[in-house]
Structure 1
Amino acid sequence: MTVTVPYHCRYLEPIGVLPGVGPKIASLFERKGIRTVADLLYTLPARYDDRRLVSPIAALEPGRPATVRGTLIQVRSTGGRGRLRRTVAELADDSGTIAVVWFGFAGQRFAKGDRVQLSGPVDSYQDKLQLQNPDGDIYADDLPPPATIVPLYSELEGIGQRTWRKLQRVAGERFAGDWIGGVPAPLRERSGLLTVGAALGFLHQPPADLPGDVEKLLTPDSPPLRSLIWEEWFVFQLAMQLRRRLFARATGIAFHCESSRLDALLASLPFSLTADQANTWREILADLQSDRPMHRLLHGEVGSGKTILAVLAAFVAAQSGYQTAILAPTEILAEQHWERFSRILEPLGVSCVLLIGTEAPPKKRRLKDLVRLGSAQVVIGTHALLSGDVEFPRLGLAVIDEQHKFGVEQRAKLVSKGVRPDVLVLSATPIPRSLALTMCGDLDISVLREKPGGEGKVTTHLMTRADRVSMYREVADRLRQGRRGYIVAPRLAAATEGQSDAVQLHAELKNGPLAEFRLEVLHGKVMPEARRRIIAALAAGELDAIVATTVVEVGLDIPNAGLLVVENAERFGLSQLHQMRGRIGRDGAEALCLLSYDEASGEKSLERLRLLASCHDGFAIAEADLKLRGPGEMMGARQSGLPPLRFGKWIQRELSLLEDIHRAAAEVLAADPALADPAHHWAKMVALQRWGAWLGEGGYG
């Protein structure tokens, strides 16, 4: 059963229902993603023009917008037609005069002698002040325009500010008045919130008697914007927790594996599980043995051993007669998984295959036949797994690695290849607690903090671009000592001066400071056979280092790699750098990480890199990254493929607010699990309207 939306809101009507919006205007708005009345109303002003304060011309300063009143003592048109036309005027008041210029049609309605109020930016041209393209009104001597706060919207070609304001006013009057939103009235009143309609009306038409700085209206502290943020997050949290309840009610697969077989597998491993791994494995095994579908997120420290738990889960599924699909974001990671799964499971009679897009068509056809016949018990691959001709007769477990790199539709497509399979989601780096709570509330969460076998000491040094000669001298010394390494460039194709790409950097190093060493270049476009040869050569000591893009970020597991160089490190996130750093020192020996950065990148970038150099705790780094970047930026990964959270960009340091909203949603559902109370009617309706398709993802509705 899928979730359907049982009603239609008027504000979801296409924007063409508004007077004056024909196909041409509608197409202009569509370029900005504005298709419905709601889209229009949710497009907030970029800033405000406070026209309550009228300045004398003599007090105007260049570079500052102003509102002035006076008489046009001269008006003339020059130039060509249409947009090439220019209207030049001179405005006078009791204190002086100023030139005014309009481009295009804007100035054609003004004439000499008009009494006007004009608002716009003041510039200097040929040592004289002028108003450029001001907005304005003509008024009678005894009836000047009312003092107002005028919203100004982002530029959109073909849509003037007057059109913006007119349409926002009409949309608000016709559609927003009864727009309550999803926060129940008792909770809304207790939290001091406005309805969605009232909040939008306030922001699009602020009252003239508004005290204080009007620009504060567009900060999270303003009551109307706070109300919109609150409502959006509350509805999202409701949907998240409703989704979790849907999972809990569904009937899935109860796997069974003889304990002796599982014990034999564990005994065959060349290591013992850490206490963290053992505890998490008990959680996963309980999920597998339950007849409720597993939906679990496993995240933790880099190198904490998440993959082996997926191997164990796949073994249990195979012993129960079911297939496992493992979806990886890159071919390199998929290949590394295939090698590890095959090494452990093939000796126990579990067939593992690798299905990636760059394999030759005949081989792909043979592999797909193995999957379709059920002969392939563990199928590891990239987006190629999602192809319609990849058919699983008994898919019981879906493992999604680096899930934030896949959209909702892609994840749902994999899950839909089975009948309510168990789902295990892996994240290579720790997720901050507050984000895990608010953005992953539909999943059970397991955390790994402990690293198997301890960890080698990794020393991190920051190097400026000016230090590159000495940096590569140090790299050469390390390579002569037999340490193998990764040298990472930020992207494949260099577009700006001073930023290395892997191919060019490889050529530079091979013909320069590292000429004596065996180097290869590795990036996502290297063909599979060549890629496997390069990785195997590095592991066997036949190469000294690889020059790569961020393909080393995940998947590469070469224990004796002890050197990492990252060029333009300021361009990477903290967690991404920590993840790359986790590729070295895995043999317990000392390792060296060198982060080269551009001094012109600024103090904030340097602050982040200093933090990384001084800290090796992935959880602390994730929390620090959250504080530096804010949840508004970091939440994007979890949103992949979901309808946008429109007000995420306003949430920067509002972690406590997110947690408050999460608790409020939990309390509402605890008291009324079905949202059957009339007070919760709109909460349920809005949650279904915004998130209904997501709630039904994978057939769990």
Structure 2
Amino acid sequence: MSNELVMKMRLTDSVQYVKGVGPRRAVQFKKLGIETVGDLLYHFPRRYEDRRTSLAAVARHGDTVCLEGTVVAGQELKPRRGLTITKLAVCDGTTTFYTVWFNQPYILRQLRPGARIAVAGKVDRSFGRVEIHVTEWEPAGGQTLSTGRIVPVYAGTEKLPQKVIRGAVQAALEVANEVREFLPPAVLHRQNLVELARALRQVHFPASLAEAEAARRRFIFEELFLLQVALARRRAMTHRATKPFRYGPDGPLVAALRESLPFRLTAAQERAWRQVAEDMQRPEPMQRLLQGDVGCGKTVVAVMALVKAQEGGLQGALMAPTEILAEQHYLKLQDILAPLGLKPYLLTGSLDQETRRANLEAIATGVAGIVVGTHALIQDEVKFARLGLVIIDEQHRFGVRQRAMLQDKGVTTDLLVMTATPIPRTLALTLYGDLDISIIDEMPPGRQPVQTFYVAPEGLERLYERIREEVARGYQVYVVCPLIEESEQLQSHAATELAAHLAERVFTSCRVGLLHGRMRPDAREEVMDAFRRGQIDILVTTTVIEVGVDVPNATGMVILDAERFGLAQLHQLRGRVGRGRARSWCALVGAPRTAEAKARLRALVATNDGFQLAEEDLRLRGPGEFFGVRQSGVPEFKIADPVRDVQILEAAREEARRVVEADPDLRHSENAPLRAAIEARFGFTATRLGIS
């Protein structure tokens, strides 16, 4: 934690001033994200080793042990060039054992007969006597950090050995007694938590494993509690705010929209719309997350909200993460809104200057009631006349700052965020605890599950024949290139080569198109338009089609080197097919080598249920990697795991609710340290969360 928790001590001092560190080692510590004394104290051990001293006589072959004794004799062996073996005979009072070092000849000069030492390492009884291959040693008798105790093991670097990190932490702990506790006393008592100064000592140098566990529990709770207080504070602040505008019940425009739709809303869509409409009609601003699986019909609910805003004399803005998705939304809105006499406006970076100027003017004067765009919407020159509703699509692709910048273009705007990446409950609590959640858990009638199957590389020819048959029946197919994360340029180059190969060698009688992220926006739109119109049979593409692309006539998808993709990404890609009435399929081509890659592909073949896949993805990857925790604006966890620690998360959430209900502004004297801790923990985010 980057700690302004200071109080009478200098946790904010540079780590270089810690005894044993200095400027040179401070550079190495910075590589671990450690720049201050506070950072060092919050660099928690990854695990512990029980190195409490035992006797040589009971040491078993292969065990890792810690032995202590007096050096009796020493010798140096050089069995071959480049190898020096140093052996010391050491007596622990009952048994003589032998310590072994490789290529450390200075040991013989340092440890003369009579020296008392403690050594840790692996036991070898192959030669009928106890030998220990030493990993660490210390002089015995004084204060030891690496032997004779429960020893912390940290994430380190090649130039920062464990002994150096332990020594630095020990030196930093000298200031721990003056660290000011910031968890409220009542919370500490109810949750039976170790107080901060003692927890810092116990988490690094515990007297027992039980002591280490108690300290770790305190810091897991602390990390989750600070976030939950911040989210609860945001929620309370939102509920106290009042919108400067009012909506009535659904009017004739919303009714006309319902009548014009070529389908009836599902029960889940109706439930979600009722929740959104009721939020919009309340005096406090809406803060709602709308989530549902790929193709469940979230967009229709968003369109209804936009129409309700325009009917109320306000503007609505829908922000999407990519130009392709923004353009897709724009085209769909054009079709849906035309019967109502409404017109959407588009704002992206690739618009020509004349169109851009005209659209900016329409937004500024209020002529544009419904606006769709990308990050271009948050640029300074974009001024809204009466922005009342902000919708963020694929929320996890935007940072907190970007979402806030669009909201700030209105006054106390309603906010609806959408995601097609189903979020397991534990992460929803963690990341979106400030939002009400609507779930569309039902597919529109007629949507058939996508048949998914695995194809080994040697089965490609048969798969190509299936693609030809699909095209012959009048349908279209996507071919997704292998993922090259290191370089978009390499990715685009690979896609170009693959498209040329397929067009010239494999599908000579088919129309093959190409789409990748480095194409000019107008060229991308030209390709997508041709694919929508059926003028391209096979579209070779990168992951630019991952979200939002909707071509009902596309019934087949081939994902090459599928093992390179994450589970959520594979599910999103698969969601591009199965959008019409015809039966659709998705072929996962690859040669997975790791157990995790095989598990991902098996999971995708087994189910079309995005929520089930999200739980599996979270289990396989853990919360740190599950879709952009950092991108969402919430810091990565140092010690907590919301999945593993779900019970602590629930307790932290309940305690946060109690604290914020009793003191929404954290103004009470007992909560002042907590307020400071949240500001230190979240930085900019705290401002957005109302903790400032």
Instruction: Assess if the C-alpha contact under 8 Å between 2:55 and 2:67 holds in 1.
Output: yes
2:452 aligns with one of 457, 460, 483: 460
Change (3 A) 1:319 1:700: farther
Change (3 A) 1:574 1:135: closer
Change (3 A) 1:247 1:637: same
The residue correspondences of 1:79-478 to structure 2 (distance < 5 A) are: 89-93=86-90, 95=96, 97-101=98-102, 110=110, 112-113=112-113, 115-117=115-117, 119=119, 134-138=135-139, 147-156=148-157, 159-176=160-177, 178-182=179-183, 184-207=184-207, 210=208, 217=212, 222-256=213-247, 259-345=251-337, 348-360=340-352, 364-365=356-357, 367-478=359-470
**Greater CA drift, 11-20 or 542-551:** 11-20
Change (3 A) 1:700 1:230: closer
SS state at 1:696 partner: helix
Counterpart CA distance in 2 for 1:501 and 1:87 is 51
Counterpart CA distance in 2 for 1:196 and 1:103 is 41
The residue correspondences of 1:673-692 to structure 2 (distance < 5 A) are: 673=664, 682-691=673-682
Instruction: Assess if the C-alpha contact under 8 Å between 2:7 and 2:178 holds in 1.
Output: no
Counterpart CA distance in 1 for 2:593 and 2:500 is 25
> Which residue is equivalent to 1:36?
36
Change (3 A) 1:114 1:567: farther
Counterpart CA distance in 1 for 2:45 and 2:162 is 10
> Which residue is equivalent to 1:634?
626
Change (3 A) 1:305 1:64: same
2:577 aligns with one of 560, 564, 584: 584
> Which residue is equivalent to 1:529?
522
Change (3 A) 1:682 1:493: closer
Q: How far has the Cα of 1:333 moved from its partner?
A: 0.6
- Alignment length (residue pairs): 674
Counterpart CA distance in 2 for 1:89 and 1:70 is 16
Query: 1:268-310: per-residue Cα shift (whole Å, max 9, x none)?
Result: 3333333322332232223223332221111112212111222
Unaligned runs of 5+ in 2: none
**What amino acid maps onto 1:380 in structure 2?**
V
Instruction: Assess if the C-alpha contact under 8 Å between 1:523 and 1:548 holds in 2.
Output: yes
Counterpart CA distance in 2 for 1:238 and 1:96 is 56
Counterpart CA distance in 2 for 1:494 and 1:627 is 25
Counterpart CA distance in 2 for 1:661 and 1:464 is 47
Counterpart CA distance in 2 for 1:542 and 1:12 is 64
The residue correspondences of 1:452-531 to structure 2 (distance < 5 A) are: 452-492=444-484, 501-531=494-524
Query: 1:381-406: per-residue Cα shift (whole Å, max 9, x none)?
Result: 22222333333343322211111111
Change (3 A) 1:397 1:121: same
Q: How far has the Cα of 1:653 moved from its partner?
A: 3.4
**What amino acid maps onto 1:475 in structure 2?**
I
Counterpart CA distance in 2 for 1:246 and 1:146 is 52
CA RMSD of superposed structures (Å): 4.1
Instruction: Assess if the C-alpha contact under 8 Å between 1:73 and 1:91 holds in 2.
Output: yes
Change (3 A) 1:674 1:479: same
Instruction: Assess if the C-alpha contact under 8 Å between 1:492 and 1:523 holds in 2.
Output: no
SS state at 1:150 partner: strand
> Which residue is equivalent to 1:551?
544
Counterpart CA distance in 2 for 1:467 and 1:63 is 48
Counterpart CA distance in 2 for 1:564 and 1:259 is 42
**What amino acid maps onto 1:34 in structure 2?**
I
Counterpart CA distance in 2 for 1:353 and 1:685 is 44
Instruction: Assess if the C-alpha contact under 8 Å between 1:58 and 1:96 holds in 2.
Output: no
When normalised by structure 2's length, the TM-score is: 0.85
Counterpart CA distance in 2 for 1:294 and 1:564 is 38
**What amino acid maps onto 2:495 in structure 1?**
A
Query: 1:334-382: per-residue Cα shift (whole Å, max 9, x none)?
Result: 1101112233335645443322234456654554444444444333222
Instruction: Assess if the C-alpha contact under 8 Å between 1:457 and 1:589 holds in 2.
Output: no
Instruction: Assess if the C-alpha contact under 8 Å between 2:237 and 2:690 holds in 1.
Output: no
SS state at 2:110 partner: coil
Counterpart CA distance in 2 for 1:144 and 1:441 is 41
Counterpart CA distance in 2 for 1:102 and 1:408 is 53
**What amino acid maps onto 1:382 in structure 2?**
T
Query: 1:523-556: per-residue Cα shift (whole Å, max 9, x none)?
Result: 2222222212222222222111212222222111
Instruction: Assess if the C-alpha contact under 8 Å between 2:384 and 2:410 holds in 1.
Output: yes
Query: 1:504-535: per-residue Cα shift (whole Å, max 9, x none)?
Result: 43344334443332121212222222212222
Change (3 A) 1:59 1:277: closer
Instruction: Assess if the C-alpha contact under 8 Å between 2:321 and 2:393 holds in 1.
Output: yes
Counterpart CA distance in 1 for 2:435 and 2:429 is 9
Change (3 A) 1:197 1:549: farther
Counterpart CA distance in 2 for 1:371 and 1:700 is 32
Change (3 A) 1:86 1:464: closer
**Greater CA drift, 23-32 or 276-285:** 23-32
> Which residue is equivalent to 1:614?
606
Instruction: Assess if the C-alpha contact under 8 Å between 1:88 and 1:100 holds in 2.
Output: yes
Counterpart CA distance in 1 for 2:85 and 2:493 is 50
**What amino acid maps onto 2:228 in structure 1?**
Q
SS state at 1:169 partner: helix
Counterpart CA distance in 2 for 1:64 and 1:509 is 57
Change (3 A) 1:436 1:48: closer
Change (3 A) 1:42 1:483: same
Counterpart CA distance in 2 for 1:140 and 1:683 is 42
SS state at 2:296 partner: coil
**Greater CA drift, 248-257 or 228-237:** 248-257
Counterpart CA distance in 2 for 1:637 and 1:155 is 23
Counterpart CA distance in 2 for 1:108 and 1:176 is 40
Query: 1:187-221: per-residue Cα shift (whole Å, max 9, x none)?
Result: 433433222332221121122xx269x9xx5xxxx
**What amino acid maps onto 1:32 in structure 2?**
L
> Which residue is equivalent to 1:694?
685
Instruction: Assess if the C-alpha contact under 8 Å between 1:44 and 1:153 holds in 2.
Output: yes
Change (3 A) 1:534 1:671: same
**What amino acid maps onto 2:88 in structure 1?**
L
The residue correspondences of 1:48-63 to structure 2 (distance < 5 A) are: 48-53=48-53, 56=56
Counterpart CA distance in 2 for 1:7 and 1:476 is 68
Change (3 A) 1:499 1:529: closer
Q: How far has the Cα of 1:638 moved from its partner?
A: 7.4
Query: 1:559-597: per-residue Cα shift (whole Å, max 9, x none)?
Result: 121112222333333333333222222222211121223
Change (3 A) 1:516 1:53: farther
Counterpart CA distance in 2 for 1:285 and 1:605 is 42
**Greater CA drift, 358-367 or 582-591:** 358-367
Q: How far has the Cα of 1:442 moved from its partner?
A: 0.3
Query: 1:235-274: per-residue Cα shift (whole Å, max 9, x none)?
Result: 2112211110001111224244771232223323333333
Counterpart CA distance in 1 for 2:119 and 2:401 is 48
When normalised by structure 1's length, the TM-score is: 0.84
